Amino acid sequence: MIILDARRIKAYECLEELGKIAGKEEEYLEELWGEFLMNDDLMGAFMYYLDHHTFNDTVQCEGYGLTDLYFYNMRLVELRQDIGKNYADCNKEGLALDTFLLMARMLRDPGKYVRLLEGGTGNDLMS
């Protein structure tokens, strides 16, 4: 017997649509979807985001929630624009997806990402 979770199918379809709007590569979306599949809490937070267009901050890492990471990402985009660079990720959808991927990476290696968040410009956060 095969049991399908309709919410996950809908979440995947929404991820693809948001990725298209944000100009994200297929590889990026596959990585993010894989992270959602490996972490039920992160998947739940993404589903909440899809329903409410805001973060619920149920997923935390070292005191940082999704909202914290979103505003950190937003600040980085603003800094890049101030120095005359134009980045494709300067839209809400792109920032939201980056936030989920950053949280997934942070959950796997908290020390690395806390050091980057707290000490420096954070240019290496998404690498």
* Model confidence at 122: pLDDT above 70: no
Q: What is the mean pLDDT of the chain?
A: 86
**Rounded-to-integer distance, Cα 57 and Cα 65, Å:** 5
Q: 38-78: per-residue pLDDT in tens?
A: 999 999 999 999 999 999 999 999 999 999 999 888 887 77
Q: What percent of the chain shows pLDDT beyond 90?
A: 62
Report how far Cα 16 is from the mean position of its chain's Cα atoms.
Answer: 14
The region of weakest confidence among 51-65, 79-93, 103-117 is 79-93
On the question of pLDDT at 109 being above 50, the answer is yes
Q: What is the pTM of this model?
A: 0.83
The CA-CA-CA angle for residues 19, 47, 91, to 5°, reads: 35
Q: 27-39, pLDDT tens digit by residue? A: 999 999 999 999 9
Answer for the pair 61, 27: CB distance below 8 angstroms, yes or no: no
Q: What is the mean pLDDT of residues 107-120?
A: 86
Q: Which of 78, 67, 17, 57 has the alpha carbon at shortest distance from 89?
A: 78
Tell me how crowded residue 104 is: count the other CB atoms within 10 A of its CB.
19
Q: Is the pLDDT of residue 115 over 70?
A: yes
